[in-house]
Structures are given as structure tokens and as C-alpha cells.
Amino acid sequence: MATLYSTHLSTSSSQSYPYSSFTSKLGNLQRMASISFPKRFLTAKLSVHSLTNSHQNAVAIQDGAVETTVTPVEGASPIKNLKDGLLSVTPPDESKEGERFDINGNESSVSITVVGASGDLAKKKIFPALFALYYEDCLPEHFTIYGYARSKMTDAELRNMVSKTLTCRIDKRENCGEKMDQFLERCFYHSGQYDSQENFTDLDKKLKEHEGGRISNRLFYLSIPPDIFIDAVKCASLSASSANGWTRVIVEKPFGRDSESSAALTKSLKRYLTEDQIFRIDHYLGKELVENLSVLRFSNLIFEPLWSRQYIRNVQLLFSEDFGTEGRILTITGIIRDIMQNHLLQILALFAMETPVSLDAEDIRNEKVKVLRSMRPLQLENVVIGQYKSHTRGGVTYPAYIDDKTVPKDSLTPTFAAAALFIDNARWDGVPFLMKAGKALNSKGAEIRIQFRHVPGNLYNRNFGTDLDQATNEIVIRVQPDEAIYLKINNKVPGLGMRLDRSHLNLHYSARYSKEIPDAYERLLLDAIEGERRLFIRSDELDAAWSLFTPVLKELEEKKIIPEYYPYGSRGPAGAHYLAARYNVRWGDLSIDQ
Ligand SMILES: NC(=O)C1=CN([C@@H]2O[C@H](COP(=O)(O)OP(=O)(O)OC[C@H]3O[C@@H](n4cnc5c(N)ncnc54)[C@H](OP(=O)(O)O)[C@@H]3O)[C@@H](O)[C@H]2O)C=CC1
Ligand SMILES: O=C1O[C@H](COP(=O)(O)O)[C@@H](O)[C@H](O)[C@H]1O
């Protein structure tokens, strides 16, 4: 820390930074200090400390300058001179450096290349998420977006394609059309092969033109089928990497189809990229309520003490879709690879991990790996698989999985699975973690259910009838749709008698928060741009995840286990109930008081 009029600002970590000018306007009750110093400190936090504690600080960071207002609290004497104050700057996180400014304060740019821009994911998720970030002013000043794919398209055609999927949030409609036009002007297209270094060199030239001599930071989003990941990574890395900034690559799942292929993919990626450059995306980690899991656990005293085998009877991780596969890649992967091994397992790891040392990406990922490595590989006897069959309802016939043109008629690929997993550590010993995931079911949603044990010696047992399980507490974290967290409790029905019912203590997001919840891809894209790795999967996490599922996946395939067939639009196969019953569990999503 240093006094205000020194020529150097010292930081709390005792680094000092030069600043070029300083002015202050002294008022009677309010003093305003305006300081300008290299722009890279725009991300720094500035605070003013008065010599006494009797002054409140307000800090506004504006383009190119930092303004701070020092206001005496009621009853305190006005500051006579700003020299009375001390000023400190918290330095920007160096690991995220290279984003807007280099070490000398030179401006930088970010170029985002969507590889596979003509595809479904790019249209449905990536471009709309980028637009939402642009609308919210979250993208850097100098950014360019390039679509890259084999299809022939002009810039105008790409813009036309992208414009069809852009929307503004319900609560953010101001200047929406104008913003869309401005965003589209920053989108360009380059047609090329995924395995052509020459084509990527041409892309490099175009990117350089847009970067205009600024520090160049480049993000490649691989939105292409997995068998061409390596070709694209090789060409992007060898021919279109940034020469003076960072180069990062977002990789979409599937990350292989078992332990061996995943390890081979990682090995190949690492021929061209370092682990720090690889951002393996699991979009469920970007969902609001999944991110909130840690907040819920670690910032509320009431939850963490209950978070163990002592109080929790079982945990359920549920995913359902009310539509079928409709030609998508499930044909090769199946629901275990598509949903369980990644989305549900990631949620489980966040749910069950020990308290991380800090919120740093590596600390969190270390804890996730630990919990995954404490798990027993899934056993065949703990899995039920299903496949949907055709069903006619209300005069409409819904197709079977095998009616899809891309699916062989004798396919045994599961479109539904239920599984019981166990964590062999002190916290979770013996607690079943039940997963259930399916397509073409009767509802669409994703949730976490935590069912608690019985109250010992419960005075009110006789009010619950014979089914005591129905009277235990349950926390439901509804990830989607209609985000909510609620706790099921037993409550006295008002009146002169003593009748109990099950009621919900409910945090219903749409009622509590007026802001629309950002799409998971927005958060993840922003994190990748900012170099925040917390929500991306590290390679050892991925290895641990695959080692839990690979043996059973092999066994299912080798033994050609026949799935239980369930009608399109139903609740799934009965086998899931038997599996849960083996561990004294009832699926919470099927109870009457959901
Ligand atoms: N769609 C989704 O909702 C989700 C997708 N993913 C993953 O994201 C990635 C992209 O998904 P999605 O957009 O659905 O994929 P697409 O099948 O739509 O493929 C994207 C683009 O890749 C090119 N492409 C497709 N097949 C081939 C091929 N055999 N050889 C060379 N190029 C090909 C095509 O572009 P062109 O012909 O113009 O070169 C296509 O437009 C995949 O890895 C997928 O697993 C993950 C989660 C959800
Ligand atoms: O990764 C995938 O996720 C989607 C479901 O994502 P959501 O955000 O809409 O819940 C699923 O449909 C797809 O099969 C799977 O690959």
C-alpha cells in the first residue's frame, strides 16, 4: 500500500505499478479521486482505505481510469486531504492474463473459431451463446468470430444462418435487433477441410487481418464429430495458433467411448496441445443449479453437517427427455456414455467431494478426482438397461428407437439406464447413489434428490401410518426445467386436530429471481475466454470417470445384454424399480408428492 500522491501504487501483494497521472477533487463531504494507469489494470480491484474505519468506499472502474469515491459515514469527520487515505490495488489474476492487455498494456484481441459451424450444435447453442455474451458486454472489445466447416458459404450466408437462431432474453430486449446486427457484422466464415493445414493457414491469414496487429488470443471450438477432432486440432495448432497470445481449444464430448479410446484421444490431443490449452466441455457443469451445488453445501451451515452417510439414506441423479434420439449420435454411444458417464457423474462428483482447499480450478478438480477414484466400478448386477419401442397414444404413433433410419434393426443400444453406484470412503460408505437416465420418457427434466434417514424415536411415527419412508426429509435440486430447490418436510395441518402432511420449503427460481438464467454454454464460453478452468474436465478426471463405466460397458456389449423394452412416452422399464428396491430406495420422481 502507498499514500495516494506517490508515483507508484503498491499492491497488497507488495508489487508496485506505475501510474501516469492522478487528480483529486476535494469536496466537503465527498472526495473523488481519478487515477489512470495502464489499461491492463482494468480488471484489478481498487480500494481506498482511510486511516480510520469511519469512511465508506465506493469504487467505479471505467474505461482507462479508475474512479473512487470516499464518503465519510454518518457522524465521522470529513477527510481533510486525500493524503489521509491509503490506496491499494489488488493485482489482476496473472493466470488469466493475456486477455485484454499484455504486460506492457498493449491491447489484445480474441478470435473465436467455431469448427463445424454448419452443424447442429453450432447453430443451436454456440452462436446464440456468443450473441448473449455480446449482448451482455461480456466479450472483449476486439473480438472476431469465424465459422469454419467444409460447406461452401459466404459471410452473408453464415450470418443469415446464424441470425435465425439468435434470440434476446425476455428481460433484455432493448436494442435487440441493433445488437444482433452489430454482432453479425463481427461473424465471418471460412470454408475448409478439417485435415488441411493449408486451409487453416488461410484462416490464420484472415484472423491476422482482423486482429490488426494486436496481441492475438485464439479460441477454437471443436463442434465436429469426434473422429475428426485430431485432424482439426493438428491443423489448428500447427497452422493457426496464436503467435503472441494464448491458443485454447474447446473439445466437445464424446471424449472416447471407453478408457482406452479416451486415453488415446488425450494422448493425441497432447501431441499438439498442452493440458492447459484443452477445455473439455461438459455443458451440465455450466448449468446454474449445478454450479450452485458448491454454494449450497459450503456456504450454508445447515447442509454440510448433514452431508454424509450419517444422515443421508440415498442420493438420486435423474435425467429424462420426452423425445427420442431423432437420428443423433446415440446410435453409437448409448445413454450410459451419452448422459451417465459424463453429466450425471460430474454432478455426483461435485455433490460428494470433500471441501476443496480453495475455489481455484485445480483445488476443485483435485477433490472431484479423489471422490471419483474412491468409487467402485459399476457392476453389471447394478445396471438396468432399456430401449424404447413404438407406442400409439391418442391416435398418434410414436416411433421405436430402431425405427430410426440410422439404427440397425437388431440394435441393443440402451436409450434408458438405471444404475447403483457406491463411494467407498468414510463419508459415503454404504450410501447408494442411484442414477436414472432415459430418452422418450413421459417427462423432461434433470434433478438431484437427496433422501434422508428416519428421525430416530420419532414421536410422530403413528401419524405416518405404516410407510415410514414416505415421511423422511428429501431435498430436491431441480436443475431443469423450472429451476428450484425444495425441502420436503412433515408439517402439522392447521386446525384443532393433529394431522401431519408433507409440505415443501420451496426456493422457486422464477418467483425469487427476475433475471433469466443464462444458458450453460454462455457461462462455459466466457470461462474459456477468461481462462477459467474450474468447469472443464481435466484428463485425470476423465480417466477416473471412464474407469468406472468401461468394464460394465464392455460386459453389456460382449454378453449382448438385451434391453428391457418400454413404450415411447412411458416411465421406463420396471427393472429400474427392482434395482432401487434392492437398496431399499424408491425413485423420488415417481412419488405422489414429488
Ligand atoms: N448437437 C448437440 O446437441 C450436441 C452435440 N455434441 C457434440 O458436439 C459435436 C458437434 O455436434 P453436432 O453439431 O450435432 O454435429 P454435426 O453432425 O451437425 O456435425 C457438425 C459439422 O461437422 C461436419 N461433419 C459432420 N460429419 C462429418 C464427417 N463425417 N466428416 C467430416 N465432417 C463432418 C459437418 O460440417 P461440414 O460438412 O460443413 O464440414 C457438420 O455440419 C459432436 O462431437 C457432438 O458429439 C455434444 C452435445 C450436444
Ligand atoms: O449432451 C447431451 O445433452 C443433451 C441434453 O442437454 P440439455 O441441456 O438439453 O439437457 C442430450 O439431449 C444429448 O443426447 C446429449 O448428447
| pLDDT, tens only, 31-66 | 334 333 333 333 333 434 333 333 434 344 333 344
Cα–Cα distance measured from residue 24 to residue 31, given in angstroms and rounded to the nearest whole number: 7
Residue 373 has pLDDT above 60, yes or no: yes
- 521 CA to centre of ligand 2 in angstroms: 12
Cα–Cα distance measured from residue 432 to residue 360, given in angstroms and rounded to the nearest whole number: 29
The pLDDT assigned to 403 comes to 94
Backbone dihedral angles phi then psi of residue 338, each to the nearest 5 degrees: -75, -35
Compute CA distances 331 → 207, 402, 413, 575, whole Å.
37, 9, 7, 22
Q: Whose CA is nearest to atom 13 of ligand 2?
A: 338
DSSP letter at 275 equals: G
Compute CA distances 125 → 101, 121, 167, 253, 523, whole Å.
29, 5, 11, 14, 12
Pick from 125, 280, 321, 439 the residue to mutate for probing ligand 2's pocket: most ligand atoms within 8 Å of its CB.
321
Pick from 91-105, 309-323, 370-384: least confident: 91-105
Q: Residue 461 — pLDDT band, cuts 50, 70, 90?
A: confident
Percentage of the chain exceeding pLDDT 70? 80
DSSP letter at 518 equals: P
CB of 193 closer than 6 angstroms to any ligand 1 atom: no
User: Closest Cα partner for 404 from 388, 392, 416?
Assistant: 388
Q: Residue 495, by phi and psi: left (phi above 0), alpha (psi -120 to 50) or beta?
A: left
**Of all atoms in ligand 1, which is nearest to the CA of residue 222?**
9
The pLDDT assigned to 56 comes to 39
Is the peptide bond preceding residue 551 cis, with omega within 30 degrees of 0?
Answer: no
Quote ipTM for the complex: 0.97
For residue 163, the SS3 value is helix
Q: Residue 593 — pLDDT band, cuts 50, 70, 90?
A: confident
Q: Whose CA is nearest to atom 15 of ligand 2?
A: 338
> What does the pLDDT look like over 265-287, one tens digit per residue?
999 999 999 999 999 999 999 99
Cα–Cα distance measured from residue 241 to residue 201, given in angstroms and rounded to the nearest whole number: 10
The closest ligand to the CA of 190 turns out to be 1
Residue 312 has pLDDT above 90, yes or no: yes
Cα–Cα distance measured from residue 61 to residue 559, given in angstroms and rounded to the nearest whole number: 63
The position carrying cell 448409448 is: 334
> What does the pLDDT look like over 463-478, one tens digit per residue?
877 777 778 999 999 9
Is 222 within 8 Å of 229 (Cβ atoms)?
yes
Cα–Cα distance measured from residue 236 to residue 233, given in angstroms and rounded to the nearest whole number: 5
The pLDDT assigned to 276 comes to 95
Q: Is the dihedral of CA 148, 149, 154, 156 positive or negative?
A: negative
Is 516 within 8 Å of 169 (Cβ atoms)?
yes
Active site residue 49: no
The pLDDT assigned to 487 comes to 97
**Of all atoms in ligand 1, which is nearest to the CA of residue 328?**
14
User: Closest Cα partner for 432 from 339, 522, 352, 551?
Assistant: 352
Is 335 within 8 Å of 321 (Cβ atoms)?
no
The pLDDT assigned to 402 comes to 94
The pLDDT assigned to 330 comes to 56
The pLDDT assigned to 170 comes to 66
CB of 151 closer than 6 angstroms to any ligand 1 atom: yes
> What does the pLDDT look like over 539-589, one tens digit per residue?
999 999 999 999 999 999 999 999 999 999 999 999 999 999 999 999 999
Q: Residue 310 — pLDDT band, cuts 50, 70, 90?
A: very high
> What does the pLDDT look like over 484-534, one tens digit per residue?
999 999 999 999 999 999 999 999 999 999 888 999 999 999 999 999 999
The pLDDT assigned to 467 comes to 73
**Of all atoms in ligand 1, which is nearest to the CA of residue 118?**
41
User: Closest Cα partner for 572 from 361, 395, 346, 417?
Assistant: 417
The Cβ of residue 491 has, within 10 Å, a number of other Cβ atoms equal to 13
> What does the pLDDT look like over 150-205, one tens digit per residue?
999 999 999 999 999 998 776 667 788 899 999 999 999 999 999 999 999 999 99
- 360 CA to centre of ligand 1 in angstroms: 32
| Given the residues 343, 391, 454, 508, the one annotated as active site | 343
pTM for the model stands at 0.84
Q: How large is the angle between the packed helices 539-558 and 345-352, nearest 10 degrees?
A: 130
Is 31 within 8 Å of 69 (Cβ atoms)?
yes
The pLDDT assigned to 64 comes to 38
Residue 103 has pLDDT above 70, yes or no: no
- 314 CA to centre of ligand 2 in angstroms: 25
The pLDDT assigned to 333 comes to 83
Q: Mean pLDDT for the chain?
A: 84
By CB neighbour count within 10 A (0-12 exposed, 13-18 middle, 19+ buried), where does 570 fall?
A: middle
Is 50 within 8 Å of 81 (Cβ atoms)?
no
The pLDDT assigned to 104 comes to 54
The closest ligand to the CA of 322 turns out to be 2
At 145, which amino acid appears?
Answer: I
**Of all atoms in ligand 2, which is nearest to the CA of residue 520?**
8
The closest ligand to the CA of 439 turns out to be 2
**Pocket lining for ligand 2, CB < 6 angstroms:** 283, 321, 328, 330, 338
- Average confidence (pLDDT) over 344-366: 97
Backbone dihedral angles phi then psi of residue 265, each to the nearest 5 degrees: -65, -45
Cα–Cα distance measured from residue 542 to residue 555, given in angstroms and rounded to the nearest whole number: 20
Is the peptide bond preceding residue 414 cis, with omega within 30 degrees of 0?
Answer: no
Q: Whose CA is nearest to atom 16 of ligand 2?
A: 338
What pairing do the DSSP bridges indicate for beta strands 45-50 and 8-10? unpaired
Percentage of the chain exceeding pLDDT 90? 72
- Average confidence (pLDDT) over 219-243: 96
> What does the pLDDT look like over 402-452, one tens digit per residue?
999 889 999 999 999 999 999 999 999 999 999 999 999 999 999 999 999
The closest ligand to the CA of 221 turns out to be 1
The pLDDT assigned to 106 comes to 63
Is 550 within 8 Å of 542 (Cβ atoms)?
no
The position carrying cell 453389471 is: 380
- 120 CA to centre of ligand 1 in angstroms: 7
What pairing do the DSSP bridges indicate for beta strands 564-567 and 383-389? parallel
**Of all atoms in ligand 2, which is nearest to the CA of residue 330?**
14
Cell of 381: 448386477
Compute CA distances 309 → 348, 352, 372, 453, whole Å.
15, 11, 17, 9
CA atoms within 13 A on the CB side of 58: 8
The closest ligand to the CA of 289 turns out to be 2
CB of 551 closer than 6 angstroms to any ligand 1 atom: no
**Of all atoms in ligand 1, which is nearest to the CA of residue 254?**
45
Pick from 114, 115, 120 the residue to mutate for probing ligand 1's pocket: most ligand atoms within 8 Å of its CB.
120
Residue 389 has pLDDT above 60, yes or no: yes
Is 138 within 8 Å of 526 (Cβ atoms)?
yes
CA atoms within 13 A on the CB side of 471: 20
CB of 38 closer than 6 angstroms to any ligand 1 atom: no
Pick from 121, 283, 413 the residue to mutate for probing ligand 2's pocket: most ligand atoms within 8 Å of its CB.
283
